[in-house]
Chain A
Amino acid sequence: MKPHSIPRRQFLASAVTGSLLFPGIVQQLLADNADPLAPKQPHFPAKAKRVIFLFMTGGVSHVDTFDPKPALTRDHGKEIKADHPEIKKRPGYERIYLKRPQWEFAKHGQCGTEVSALFQNIAQCVDDIALIRSMHTSHSNHYNATLGMHTGSFAQSRPSIGSWATYGLGTLNRNLPGFVVIAPKQTYAGTQVFASDFLPGAHQGTLVVPGAEPIANVAPRVPASRQQLELAALRQINEEHLASRGTDPLLAARLQTFETAFGMQMAVPDAFDLKQESDATLASYGLQRGQTTGFGWQCLAARRLVERGVRFVELIDTGSSGNWDAHGDMMTHGPLAKNVDQPIAALLRDLKQRGMLDDTLVVWTTEFGRTPFNNTATAKGREHHPWAFSSWFAGGGVKPGIVHGATDEIGLRAVEKPVHVRDFHATILHLMGFDHEKLTYRHAGLDFRLTGVEESHVVKEVLA
């Protein structure tokens, strides 16, 4: 017998056609077995087939970015009163004063939406954006507000919005995970922001850390020829075992996971292989050829993932330090904005150019805003502000070029058409074709849903 011959031939046959690794019985079993990631139809037809969720960690100041407040500049240093959670009983914060924004605002696009100089590139895309200026949330701690923005729950862990998305829609490419989170560092609430919690584990977000090996254990540790031998041996062992067990969907499912994993070994490096992109594309995202980190890399990787059928991609820009949490100095918003501004604009344009913006929903948000005041007239920073912040949608099913809701004159309260995080979630689910009250999961005797037990409403005005 020639060395290698039989196992390799068998193995390759299976890898190419799937016929040997999936004999009839296995196919049958897989069909019987409820595959948690099989593609599913939503409750009603919807434009958005996939979501890119851009999360800015730390609390982006609304009054310095998307919510112009001339009164703040006019009344800079004026004392005000507010029964605010971040200053209550806090020594040194008995008196508070308005603080002016550090960046100029200007009108952009046909729609004339005002955006500050911090986001000069995103500003060029306002005609594709539905901006919400009346966001508000339920907590002023990073941990709780971050958890809330991702899971709808401000205290206990609950499934992430991305997990709900794959639970509802399944996935389109079994060689890639359905829900991917690309983050250079752990944000507040850590892995809880992409946990499937009580939903089946298949809906857990797969963490990608920008770098040489974005998904753990994808790179084979041995040469391909040896891995093939090993897989052939494994297949033989598993099939004999299956044959002796009559019928067992889990065994078949496990066989399938090896097929998928084998596919992932190629699909994942391919998805993250930016070498295939043109110089012009790389440049538009602000990337050097060969670069494997940075928010530009995250954005371009996100486009490549959704292109390949991944349902929900979340990009987190920073970790739980060195982020937008500008207590000490608002000017730290400068480099953070620079990090994301060009890549996000490039992503929107790239999707549009490829005709993908029509059925891809892009969400931009943070966990809360920042106070329009501080405890001295000369304070450089701003504090956490759950009462008002700005978020935006673009793409699939969104009415472009509009501004929804408003804060009061100084950006303290969302006064016009306030949108709570729960409403925000209900709207995202609606854009994906789900009635947020009906996308439920039975756990511990209760029907849980992303929007929880409190009332929430789809923001109809932002729908196209």
Chain B
Amino acid sequence: MAFFESKVLPLLQSRCYECHSHEKKIKGGLALDLKTGWQTGGDNGPAIIPGDLVKSHLVQAVRYADPEMEMPPKGKLAASEIEVLEKWVAMGAPDSRVAKVADNKARVIDIEAGKKFWAFQPVRDAKAPAVKNRSWPSNDVDGFILAKLEAAGLTPNADADAYTWLRRVSLDLTGLPPSPQDIARFTADESPQAREHVVDRLLQSKAFGERWARHWLDLTGYADQIGTSNNVFAEHAWRYRDYVIDSFNLDKPFDRFIREQIAGDLLPFTTPQERAANLIATGFLVLGDVEIVAVDKLKMEIDLVDQQVSKVGTAFLGMTLGCVRCHDHKFDPITQRDYYAIAGMFRSTDSTYKTDNGVWSSINACEMPETPEQQSRRTQILAANEAKLKSLQSERTDAEKAKAALEPQIKDATKEAKPALEKKRDELAARIKAINGEVEHAKFFAPIAPKAFAVHDRPKTDDMQITIRGNPYALGDKVKRGLMAVASWGELPPIPANQSGRVQLADWLADSRNPLTARVTVNRIWQKLFGEGLVRSVDYFGVRGELPTHPELLDHLATRFVRGGWSQKQLIRSLVLSRAYRMSSAHNAVAMTKDTDNRLLWRMNRQRLDAEAIRDSMLAISGKLAPANGGPALPLEFPENVTSLSPKAVNPPAFNLKKFRPVQEFERTVYLPVIRTATQPGPAKLRDVFDFTQPAQISGKRAETAVPTQALFLLNSDMLRARATELAQHLTQTESNAGARLEVLWLRVLNRPITSAERDEANQLIESLLADKAWIELSHALLSSNEFLLRL
């Protein structure tokens, strides 16, 4: 003991405490200022095994035996110092220190204190406050907005004109501008319900789901590609995309939408269609950026679990749960136990399987129930495919025979005749090769029962052990499956035997008592309509996020949302019919000085159209927008778009997009393939130019940049040229004189009548060019204009 106190302790104090003591830091979880510190050890287990130099990490570390763990990192100890430590360990590491150091681990999370933060407080409905200007509000929403403005001495902007409002609501709800007919109908509708008529028409249009589904897909990491390596196609992913579109169009209650996506496979059902939708919905859990090529499958699976926990955290709770995999949350009252309580549910769920290709895995796909019509249609397609295969195979047999017959002829042929025969043989060989490819393709894509990417519970479900610093081989305590304590009101109901617990997780997320889900959801809807959220950090409601500008309004909306059966359409309807939504986005010098960021909403925020709205609007304006009914986004039916189909290949089947269906040029952007690791393909190119949320990310808010590549796209891309040309053709074909053409052009592109000054300028331009060119240039200029690219 004397040796410890005179030799060892000073050494530990001078050379180790800086990083391994309660007073300073506890790096790697190891504290050396206590006996129990080295006994329990850090991330790698006990630091000292008394008497065993080889197994004692401390000794190995000071000897610099392992380059991954050399201590102290700043420089090796002197040989004499190392000897001291070796001798001490060999003696059995006598340590006289008793636990006197206060066990003040860096930071202990106090859940009860954490619950006091606004986002974890129960949602409390509030009545709209009294306002002075009682004529302004048209519904409850307006009272909350106006009260704050009045308190700050601000007045709301005047109403936007009818054209601006119509364009705004049309773009917000459907991603498409109003047509000249829509404009005429609205401006002629003198009834007090004119706005309601418009809103109801838009909410019932298919275009509504096509737009709002994309907002949701931004939160899922959706792509038509599995993982990020080798362009592996996600051939069933489109079913999830279509499911989301349908869910919005059917106004599926959001609590139901949650349950299906988290635990659809475990939900009861009555019809095959319902079962199919439930299974497809779980694609939410697996259609993100899933790693599938890894030698270490355990690590791969744990990484996927982490992604699932993180996604649930961001999409439904507005929390960054990913951080908590390795340590308690640095700012928010979320512990590692919370993380592993939820992670255990996903660890008990099967998401991937090992394929026959090399080290590759793939996402689970399950067969879906078919309706009798689907079955009979498939039988027909199958028969056609069989016939095609048969004819290909017989053509191949003929070609092979012909080729075989040529060989002896070539051998015996004269010098003059030989080249022609050889050419013929080579042509046959090439044809045989092509047929082989087609046969392989036809076999691979033979119509099978419809499948969806989906998850299911593992045969054996279990709680999960903490992985130390995310290392699946360094395990800590087992954590009982459960919920995030700070947002819970009680214990998790018991998980049925052999179930993962995802049903219970979904029930908790979709419970009216959950303080986060409804708030996060209504805030995202608000943000899409008003440009900024009531909580501006839409994906993060934690301590370091933004505080709500209108907390009572947020809670009022959340309450109404839940009471209204979690109907998104109802909520959207009431928001766009509010007076606040009607305000002009015009500048106001006084208000600007008082509230530059428009936090109190004295005006409407103008927004730049997102990538989809830009492309889709241009198609609608040029008259070329093609209706679509969903279905596979990747044109894998073209053999040239597919590689590596052989079942024996080292790498899995992959896409290599060279050719698109002609109609894809004209379909809405949501239906085009989404690629994770390359620039967006073919007609979807402009996504990259206009701030599309790349599918490796999850984000509820799109960036709104103004960069030169956008201007180049607008100036010089083939797409703009094509739309401008089509629009000009349409104008010249349908209207005979320049005046009428200008009227229509302005109505179609900017959705308002042309002003007289604009008419004069446009006429100047038209006179200075040949007629056919003039209309193209003018259309092109309008389609690149700020006014077109913004929704005011």
B608 at the interface (CB under 8 A from A): yes
Instruction: Assess the B703–A251 pair: CB atoms within 8 A.
Output: no
Most chain-A CB neighbours within 10 Å: which of B229, B592, B768? B768
Residue A335, interface by CB 8 Å? no
Q: How far is the CA of A219 from the CA of B761 in the complex (A)?
A: 27
**Contact at B295–A217, with CB atoms within 8 Å?**
no
Q: Given A226-B773, A230-B780, A444-B320, decide whether A254 and B716 contact each other with a Cβ distance below 8 A.
A: no
Q: Does B532 contact A (CB under 8 A)?
A: no
Does A206 sit at the interface, judged by CB under 8 A?
yes
Say whether B82 faces chain A, with CB atoms less than 8 Å apart.
no
Known: A226-B773, A226-B777, A445-B540. A241 touches B229 (CB 8 A): no
Find out whether the CB atom of A143 lies under 8 angstroms from the CB atom of B295: no
A234 contacts chain B at the CB level, 8 A cutoff: yes
Contacts of A247 on B, CB cut-off 8 Å?
A: 587, 592
Please choose the segment from A14-22, A189-197, A307-315, A364-372 that sits at the chain B interface, where 4 or more of its residues have CB less than 8 A away. A189-197
Interface-located stretch among B33-41, B279-287, B391-399, B781-789: B781-789
Asked whether any CB of chain B lies closer than 8 Å to the CB of A85, the reply is yes
Contacts of B295 in A (CB 8 A): 85-86, 88-90, 140-141
Q: Which of these, A86, A192, A262, A415, contacts B677 with CB under 8 Å?
A: A192
Q: Are A446 and B320 in contact (CB under 8 A)?
A: yes
B589 within 8 A of A: yes
Instruction: Please provide the chain B residues from 696 to 712 with a CB less than 8 Å away from any CB of chain A in the complex.
Output: 696-697, 699, 703-712
Q: Which residues 286-334 in B have Cβ within 8 Å of A in the complex? A: 289, 291, 293-296, 303, 320, 322-323, 330-331
Rounded to whole angstroms, the CA-CA distance of A156 and B228 in the bound complex is 11
Are A201 and B705 closer than 8 Å at their CB atoms? yes
Is A229 at the interface (CB under 8 A from chain B)? yes
Q: In chain A between 218 and 232, which residues have their CB closer than 8 angstroms to a CB of chain B?
A: 218-222, 226-227, 229-232
Residues of A with C-beta under 8 A to B289: 156-157
Main SS class of interface, B: loop
Contact of A190 among B228, B608, B768 (CB under 8 A): B228
Q: Give bound CA distance, A280 to B228, whole Å.
A: 43
Is A414 a contact of B67 with CB atoms below 8 Å? yes
Residues 729-770 of B, flagged 1 when their CB comes within 8 A of A and 0 if not, give 000000000000000000000000000011001101101110
Does A397 reach chain B (CB closer than 8 Å)?
A: no
Chain A residues whose C-beta falls within 8 Å of the C-beta of B782 in the assembled complex: 237
In the bound complex, do residue B697 and residue A157 qualify as a contact, i.e. CB atoms below 8 Å apart?
yes
Known: A195-B694, A237-B785, A415-B67. A445 touches B544 (CB 8 A): yes
Q: Is B12 located at the chain interface by the 8 A CB criterion?
A: no
**What residue of chain A has the Cβ atom nearest to residue B774's Cβ?**
A229
Segment among A2-10, A38-46, A74-82, A353-361 that sits at the interface with chain B: A2-10
Chain A residues within an 8 Å CB radius of B769: 3, 226, 229
Q: Are B785 and A234 touching (Cβ within 8 A)?
A: yes
CB distance from B289 to the nearest CB of A (A): 7
Question: Which chain A residues lie closer than 8 Å to B761 at the CB level?
Answer: 233, 236
Check A6–B764 contact: CB distance below 8 A. Answer: yes
Q: A413 near B: Cβ within 8 Å? A: yes
Q: How far is the CA of A416 from the CA of B653 in the complex (A)?
A: 44
Contacts of B544 in A (CB 8 A): 445-446
Task: Write the chain B residue with the least CB distance to A174.
Answer: B708
Is A207 at the interface (CB under 8 A from chain B)? Answer: yes
B264 at interface by CB-CB < 8 Å: no
Binary per-residue interface labels of chain A (195-217) against chain B in the complex, 1 for a CB within 8 Å, 0 otherwise: 10110111010110000000111
Given the known inter-chain contacts A226-B773, A445-B331, A445-B540, please indicate yes or no for A261 contacting B706, CB distance below 8 A.
no
| Interface check A329, CB cutoff 8 A | no
Is residue A122 within 8 Å, beta carbon to beta carbon, of the partner chain? no
CB-CB under 8 A for A155 and B786, given A177-B709, A202-B707, A216-B712: no
- Residues A233 and B781 in contact, CB atoms below 8 Å apart: yes
Chain B: residues with Cβ within 8 Å of the partner, total of 78
Q: Could you tell me the distance in whole angstroms from the C-beta of B482 to the nearest C-beta in chain A?
A: 24
Q: Is B682 an interface residue (CB 8 A)?
A: no
- Contacting B at CB under 8 A, from A86-131, are 86, 88-90
Tally A-B pairs: CB < 8 A: 206
CB-based contact B677/A191 at 8 Å: yes
Question: Counting chain B CB atoms within 10 Å of each CB, which of A7, A200, A207, A254 scores highest?
Answer: A254
Task: Determine the distance from Cα of A207 to Cα of B706 in the docked complex, in whole angstroms.
Answer: 18
**Interface: A418 (CB within 8 A):** yes
When distances are taken between beta carbons in the complex, the residues of chain A under 8 Å from B677 are 186, 189-192
B421: Cβ under 8 A from any A Cβ: no
Most buried by B among A89, A143, A219, A413: A143
Cβ proximity bits A238-262 to B, threshold 8 Å, 1 near / 0 not = 1011100111101101111110111
A161 sits at the interface (CB 8 A): no
Q: How far is the CA of A173 from the CA of B154 in the complex (A)?
A: 42
The residue among A86, A207, A219, A240 with the most chain B CB atoms within 10 A of its own CB is A240
A 63-84 to B, binary, CB cutoff 8 A, 1 in contact else 0:
0000000000000000000000
> In whole angstroms, how far apart are the Cα atoms of A230 and B537 in the complex?
40
Once the chains bind, are A217 and B320 in contact (CB under 8 Å)? no
The reply to whether B694 and A191 form a contact with Cβ atoms under 8 Å apart is yes
Which residue of the partner chain A has the closest CB to B589? A246
| B717 at interface, CB cutoff 8 A | yes
Identify the closest chain B residue to A136 (Cβ): B67
Q: Is A1's CB within 8 Å of the partner chain B?
A: yes
Chain A residue with the shortest CB-CB distance to B680:
A191
Contacts of A7 in B (CB 8 A): 764-765, 768
- B102 contacts chain A at the CB level, 8 A cutoff: no
User: Do the beta carbons of B781 and A234 come within 8 Å of each other?
Assistant: yes
Distance in angstroms between the alpha carbons of A155 and B470 in the assembled complex: 12
Given A186-B678, A201-B707, A219-B716, answer yes or no on A157-B694 (Cβ-Cβ < 8 Å). yes
Residues of B within 8 A of A86 (CB): 295
Contact A445 B706, beta carbon cutoff 8 Å: no
Residue of B nearest to A5 (CB): B768
Q: In the complex, A234 Cα to B762 Cα: how many Å?
A: 11
Asked if A320 is at the interface (CB within 8 A of a chain B CB), the reply is yes
- CB of A233 within 8 A of CB of B712, answer no
Q: Distance in Å from the Cβ of B524 to the closest Cβ of chain A?
A: 14
B159 at the interface (CB under 8 A from A): no
From residue B19, how far is it (CB to closest CB) to chain A in Å?
Answer: 10
Given contacts A157-B697, A201-B705, A414-B67, contact A251 B786 (CB under 8 A): yes
Find B678's partner among A190, A246, A415 (CB 8 Å cutoff). Answer: A190
B 661-702 binary contact with A (CB < 8 Å = 1; else 0): 000000000000000111100000100100100101101000
Instruction: Give the distance to chain B from A241, nearest Cβ to Cβ, in Å.
Output: 5
Nearest to A230 among chain B residues (CB) is: B777
Q: Does B91 contact A (CB under 8 A)?
A: no
Contacts of A3 in B (CB 8 A): 767-769
Q: How far is the CA of A89 from the CA of B354 in the complex (A)?
A: 15
One of B296, B540, B712, B773 near A217 (C-beta < 8 A): B712
Choose one: B230, B694, B773, B786; the contact of A238 (CB below 8 Å): B786
Decide if B435 is an interface residue (CB 8 Å cutoff). no
Q: Are A218 and B707 in contact (CB under 8 A)?
A: no
A174 to chain B, nearest CB (A): 8
**A297 beta carbon closer than 8 Å to chain B:** no
> Are A257 and B707 in contact, CB atoms less than 8 angstroms apart?
yes
B718 within 8 Å of A (CB atoms): yes
State the 6 A-B residue pairs at the shortest beta-carbon distance, nearest first.
Answer: A190-B677, A246-B587, A261-B711, A445-B544, A201-B705, A260-B708
Q: List 22 A-B contacts (CB under 8 A).
A: A1-B764, A7-B765, A7-B768, A90-B295, A141-B294, A143-B291, A155-B303, A157-B289, A157-B696, A222-B721, A230-B781, A233-B762, A240-B758, A246-B588, A248-B587, A250-B704, A254-B706, A260-B711, A414-B67, A444-B320, A445-B320, A445-B542
> In the complex, given contacts A226-B773, A445-B542, what are 10 additional A-B residue pairs having Cβ atoms less than 8 angstroms apart?
A1-B764, A140-B295, A188-B229, A215-B712, A237-B758, A241-B785, A250-B608, A257-B710, A265-B712, A445-B320
B contacts, CB < 8 Å to A: 67, 228-230, 289, 291, 293-296, 303, 320, 322-323, 330-331, 537, 539-540, 542-545, 586-589, 592, 606, 608, 676-679, 685, 688, 691, 694, 696-697, 699, 703-713, 715-718, 721, 757-758, 761-762, 764-765, 767-769, 773, 777-778, 780-782, 784-787, 789-790
